[in-house]
Structure 1
Amino acid sequence: MLKAIVPSIICLSLAGAALASDVTYRKDIHPLWNARCSACHGAKSPYLGDFLENTDTYKKMMKGPRMDTYADLIIFVGWPDTGAIMRRLDDGKNTKDGKPGNMYQYLGATDEERQKNFGVFKAWVGEEAWTHKRWDAKGDMPGVTKDELAKMKVKY
């Protein structure tokens, strides 16, 4: 009996790892984003440049920068706002002070749901690519490297 169970457990573990590597924007991120993020970052939200020019105005309107397409969302992962998704959605386990990012709370109604959805975003970007670094150094944080950018998965 045990001999039959062990291979099944191994297969399930490998299948789980394969699923994590197969996270795509279309299949996983876009539906999750629609459910959890679109109210503030949808098609009626400003593009990043407009948001940065009028941040206070848009914040009063409960609007963040637009992220309703793959191309718009990638801006906040790779460039020009490198690492913004990672800094804002992080659960705090990747920060010096242990504080989650300011958007982590919106990933779900319970901590279990937030952790699950956080895991989907993290798998999409890539475990090894999950960085809080920006394009250019800021404070004591160095800028992102070419090698770190190359680890990003962000499959469409």
Structure 2
Amino acid sequence: MVVEFAVWPALLAGLAGTAAMTAVMVMGRAVGMTDMDIMLITGGMMTGDERRARALGAVIHFVVMGTVVFGLLYAALFAWSDTAGVLTGLVFGFVHGLVVGALAMPMMSAIHPRMRAGHGGFTLPAPGIMGTGYGRGTPAGILLAHLVYGLVVALVYTALV
């Protein structure tokens, strides 16, 4: 089966993947696995007001990053690799999780205004490598959430193209 790149299926798959990933993240916080609040972290880049940060963070997380950026990127990778199966989705999700945890999170404290002294509003702890600054269970949570994202995006994309 040839996997074609298709925008609308990519966006719908990205949205579904983001919803599933977010459910995993919310459950991780609810059971005490992690203290990481992705909406607050993301929105906190724009504002020091905690309520506004969560609202902005939700839009950025769901619409911009999960649906548009990564939905389209995963679809492009599926088309490039000519496969969008379960294994491909899990591999892409695992690599995505490693890149986020091992590269993006450690760099965040250098650029995030709420993780540096002298900025108004709330403050956030530095995530550290694989998010360990948010609890010992965070690395596993990051990988699990991204595995779920990759799996759901692959399944939904395959069903729609």
| TM-score normalized by the length of structure 1 | 0.31
| TM-score normalized by the length of structure 2 | 0.31
Structure whose residues are more often helix by fraction:
2
Greater relative contact order (CA < 8 Å, ≥ 6 in sequence)? 2
**Looking at CA atoms only, which structure, 1 or 2, has the larger radius of gyration?**
1
